[in-house]
Amino acid sequence: MLLLIPLLALAVFLFLWLSRRGSSLTRQCLWREHRAEDLWRCAACGAICHPEKGAPRHCLRPR
């Protein structure tokens, strides 16, 4: 039992770190799907994306 808690904490941290690596989205990215136009539009900056499937995973705001 004593070893289980640190292993569980490590597993949770590793999962969160690996899931974050696949995305560069920030809190300012607010993607909204417009199905009639078949596109995604960011409510924060107005960027437009036409992904093949699913929501965009990267912020398109200019640096």
pTM over 0.95: no
Q: Where are the alpha helices (DSSP H) in the chain?
A: 4-21
| Cβ contacts of 34 within 8 Å, gap of 6 or more | 40, 41
Residue 63 has pLDDT above 70, yes or no: no
28 versus 4: the higher-pLDDT residue is 4
Give the whole-angstrom CA distance, residue 8 versus residue 26. Answer: 27
Q: Which two tokens stand for residue 58?
A: 């990267």
